[in-house]
Amino acid sequence: MRNQRNGKGKYRVWSNRKESWVERDGPGEENEHFVIMLKDRHARAALLAYAKDAADFGEHEYSRDVQELANRAGQMHPNCKAPD
């Protein structure tokens, strides 16, 4: 997702642990993030690479969870489209 020129992201992230919106999430800040929509045409490739890297670091259960997301993402998603 693209950041707006003012540094604010298009989406906000909710922290289930803290039960509040994530703050200090702009470019270069502590909680900077990037949201990937599963229907995004490029999501599958991104998630497959993420899952492989997690497996390379021995995080096999987490890697399998991400792989399951990848199997529903990108061109495998029924509403696949180019990102906006």
Confidence check: pLDDT of 68 > 90: yes
Residue 1 has pLDDT above 60, yes or no: no
d(CA 38, CA 53): 19
Mean per-residue pLDDT, 38-65:
97
pLDDT of 13 strictly over 70: yes
Q: Which two tokens stand for residue 4?
A: 């707006």
Task: Tell me the residue ranges of DSSP E strands in 1-84.
Answer: 14-15, 20-21
Mean pLDDT of the residues in the chain: 87
Domain coordinates of the chain in residue numbers?
Answer: 1-35, 36-84
CA 6-11-12 angle, 5° bins = 95
pTM: 0.78
- Report how far residue 12's alpha carbon sits from residue 56's, in angstroms, rounded to the nearest whole number: 30
Q: How far apart are CA 74 and CA 39, in angstroms?
A: 5
pLDDT in tens, 17-39: 888 888 888 778 888 888 899 99
Structure confidence at residue 9 (pLDDT) = 61
Give yes or no for a contact between 44 and 75, defined as CB atoms under 8 angstroms apart: yes
